[in-house]
Structure 1
Amino acid sequence: MLSHLQACLAAYSSSSQRFVLALSGGMDSRVLLDLMAQYQAKHQAEGQTIDVIAVHVHHGLSKNADTWAQQCQTWSQQVGIPCVVEHVTLSNTQGESIEQLARHARYQALAKHVVAGDVLLTAQHGDDQMETFLLALKRGSGPAGLAAMPVCTAFGNGKHVRPLLTVSRADIEAYATAQKLDWVEDESNQDTRYDRNFLRHHITPQLAQRWPGIRKAVGRSAALCGEQEALLAELLADKLASALQSDGSLALAALTNARLGKALIRQWLQAQQVLMPSQAQLEQVWQSVVLAKDDANPQVNWHHYQLRRYAQRLYLIQQWPDIQGQEFALTLNQPCLLPQDLGQLWLTPCKEASTEPQLAHGDEQQALRLRQPIPQEVVTVRFDPEGVQVKPLGRVGKRKMKKLFQEYGVPSWNRRRTPLVFYGEQLAAVAGLFVVDGFAGKECELTWHNSLSG
């Protein structure tokens, strides 16, 4: 088992000296912890420095969760590997299964510990691979889904390696027994209401009894599907590069027919490491978004994402709760921290005199020049443009914010996420876009350091 681990890590992590081990405390990860302790000791005896940390994700779903976390810390301490416990809270607002939510939260927590060059290690094995393959088959997946889990894939700025993926559960259990290891048993693993558990307890044992070599056969099929996907990505790389725009969107002009278009959309989404839409959802994207009329505002939602169309481009955006009713104070020389990854807004004294205040937007951090608020004017940031009519500096006449957003090229989904700066109850500026007539000046600069795009 140790030789197998060494061969796998040599193949996929030759340049890495730091490993992040996902430690649930179950038998599989418990065995991987023991193997990594031996791997580290062997290399240290040869004068090489190998750093290993274990990360246990505490989901809080079981009454035994605190005990499992403590056990993982104890086992890690026994073999001299630091262990960090990450607490996560699951919030189901998208109708997802608890399995999907837990998996998403788990990898988000693990990603915090993986920096450039690191290798994330997880303990999925050959039986897990067969279950994943069968679940993909049940969903009607194509080669991408049937490729199941690769041994190695990109993960943030590092890699994700599954060194036990070709090892059977039986072999892992035999090793754990021989080494006299103990581990935790998650009671939810016996609940056959979950699809994976149903396969594990009722289906795969019968398949393996009938065809003893089926695990290896499934592994080969998954690997072949993975090779096909890799080849397709290679063949489409140039077309995808030409279709990809500077803001990360996808030009509709490149989607010349349904077969090529859907393939490019899949590759585009895969590059962004999001949960792939189902075949039905992808068909909906093609029919309802790509082929929609020019004046339509179509969208398709799945998981935490939306696919939208604007100015003949496709945009992938994250779904966010409505913030129209929220209000934030904006104080001179103090950062205003905006919600939902919208960055910071600053109102600062001007450092240099300017002959003319700025009129319109350029890049996302352009400063707009405003007058100093008078004492009774409380400065606030809001996100509700409904019914607001203003006259931007240098323009003739007032216009509704909806029309102004259209003129300034702000996509519909960002119009209620663009900060509106109010002096008292009067709109004074729209961050990154313009200053309202009557509020221009040379005393203050409004700067939006933001991540808003698409």
Structure 2
Amino acid sequence: MLLEHLQHQLGDRRRVCVALSGGLDSSVLLHALVRLRDSVLPDLQLRAMHVNHGLSTHAVSWTASCEAQCQLWQVQFIPLAVKVDAREGGIEAAARKARYRALTENLLADETLFTAQHLNDQCETFLLALKRGSGPAGLSAMSAETSICGHPVIRPLLSLQRKQLEEYARANQLVWIEDDSNQDTRFDRNFLRLDVLPMLYQRWPHFAAATARSASLCAEQELLLDELLQEALDNLIDLQGSLSIEGLENLSAARRFALIRRWLASLGASMPSREQLQRIWDEVALSREDAEPQLRLGSHNIRRYRQRLYWLAPMQSLKDTVIAWQGQEVLDLPASLGQLSLTSAGQNGLTLRKPRVDEMLTVRFHASGEVNKVGRDRSRSIKKLWQELNVPPWDRERIPLIFYNEQLIAAAGLFITREALTSGPQEATWSLFWNTESR
């Protein structure tokens, strides 16, 4: 029965990678796929990835056990190691994020990731979302098919109960790893699995199936809302992925928050709570006009500029960075900002005079005071100039600035100052070009 079920789940997919923990569930999944490959689908290509989270003293032996199992079953084995930062939403959530990040980064272009969550896992996920006060999106729990970072992810065992997997394992004399941390009820999922759900299953044997139906209904409602709101969302998002605040102002709170959630989901953000949504609107969108508000959401920040909301990754501060440039043709910039090049005058880029004998050329990312921009009849403060050039606050210290000694000469890709002009036709010039494609 399990083989037929998996064959149906596979469809025409023939390149599959199994997330192999070595536990009961993933061992059953991989064994069943191996049987399918050996008996029915000879063109099925299997790989297995095992993630070492570095959280157990047994982690190395678990990796070795998984590798030995894959060798026995003639499955290519890929061991992966990650670092888990408990500050990312707690140890459980951080481990899950690190695991999926490692898995998706190592998938092949046409490969599908198979994971081994089952019906009882779905019940636990639903109750954890209920505990957090989640809405329909969170209560949708896990979907049987999804995608992460553009890679398809299938959970083929999601309709099967753990006891069915146990029966299969016993019938096929499988050996699997028992993670000792699964007995630690300090973790919410273990508390549910060990202390709460056994009583619920005893009272209501079909409780897991009932919660799965509720999760499915919530998912249907979310899908319907996605369809109804997509056109409005498309009109609110620009080519940079930012969201219009003005387009949200006259909407009901329910519709506004639903649109913000879908905007964040389209960017790959984790779903905010109702409190976080309210803070995004009150503290970021509606903050005073001259403020530069930001709110941390997971690993990113929500920021506002020119009546639009942006979801941005944390950026390395370059305010105090000073790079001495000896005039070589190409200079690699820090923080993946690309390259600067100096070429013969007249080519693409900004034309400026070469430094004089007593001038040192440096690249910086911060300037202050007044700036005499070429093309203006008077100086302007650098802050006003950034505003005129529509440069958002978070980019103002990521634009390479050319200095001769302590004098600002040019902002790469944007402008030169009067001090960049030659004093006569005999003075040598060159062209400055910022190659951002190498970022």
Match of residue 368 from structure 1 = 350
Flag the 1:418–1:353 CA change in 2: closer, same or farther, 3 A: closer
Q: Is the radius of gyration larger for structure 1 or structure 2?
A: 2
Q: Secondary structure at the match of 2:418?
A: coil
Shift of residue 398, structure 1, vs aligned partner: 3.6
Aligned-residue Cα RMSD (Å) equals 2.4
Give the alignment of 1:284-433 within 5 angstroms.
284-328=279-323, 330=325, 332-339=328-335, 342-350=336-344, 353=346, 367-373=349-355, 379-385=361-367, 387-433=368-414
Shift of residue 50, structure 1, vs aligned partner: 2.6
In 1, the alpha carbon distance for the partners of 2:407 and 2:180 equals: 58
Flag the 1:436–1:99 CA change in 2: closer, same or farther, 3 A: farther
In 1, the alpha carbon distance for the partners of 2:175 and 2:356 equals: 69
- Gaps of at least 5 residues in structure 2 are 422-427
- Gaps of at least 5 residues in structure 1 are 355-365
Letter in 2 for 1:384: H
Give the alignment of 1:24-173 within 5 angstroms.
24-45=21-42, 49-92=43-86, 94=87, 96-173=89-166
What TM-score, normalized by structure 1, do the two folds share?
Answer: 0.87
Whether the 8 Å contact between 1:192 and 1:198 is mirrored in structure 2 is yes
In 2, the alpha carbon distance for the partners of 1:205 and 1:307 equals: 41
In 2, the alpha carbon distance for the partners of 1:292 and 1:411 equals: 16
Match of residue 234 from structure 1 = 227
Q: Secondary structure at the match of 2:301?
A: strand
Shift of residue 259, structure 1, vs aligned partner: 1.9
Shift of residue 51, structure 1, vs aligned partner: 2.4
Match of residue 439 from structure 1 = 420
Greater alpha carbon shift after TM alignment, 392-401 vs 151-160: 392-401
In 2, the alpha carbon distance for the partners of 1:279 and 1:336 equals: 43
Greater alpha carbon shift after TM alignment, 420-429 vs 59-68: 420-429
Letter in 2 for 1:9: L
In 2, the alpha carbon distance for the partners of 1:429 and 1:186 equals: 59
Whether the 8 Å contact between 2:88 and 2:94 is mirrored in structure 1 is no
Whether the 8 Å contact between 2:25 and 2:117 is mirrored in structure 1 is yes
Is residue 253 of structure 2 the alignment partner of residue 261 of structure 1? no
In 2, the alpha carbon distance for the partners of 1:34 and 1:187 equals: 23
Shift of residue 374, structure 1, vs aligned partner: 5.8
Match of residue 425 from structure 2 = none
Percent pairwise identity: 41
Shift of residue 157, structure 1, vs aligned partner: 2.5
| Count of aligned pairs | 429
Is residue 6 of structure 2 the alignment partner of residue 19 of structure 1? no
Task: Kindly provide the CA deviation profile for residues 91-132 of structure 1, in whole angstroms up to 9, marking residues without a partner as x.
Answer: 45x563011211111111112123544311111111111111
Letter in 1 for 2:5: H
Whether the 8 Å contact between 2:349 and 2:431 is mirrored in structure 1 is no
What TM-score, normalized by structure 2, do the two folds share?
Answer: 0.90
Q: Secondary structure at the match of 1:438?
A: helix
Shift of residue 164, structure 1, vs aligned partner: 0.8
Q: Secondary structure at the match of 1:149?
A: coil
Match of residue 359 from structure 1 = none
Greater alpha carbon shift after TM alignment, 289-298 vs 131-140: 289-298
Whether the 8 Å contact between 1:239 and 1:254 is mirrored in structure 2 is no
In 2, the alpha carbon distance for the partners of 1:414 and 1:338 equals: 14
Flag the 1:451–1:103 CA change in 2: closer, same or farther, 3 A: farther
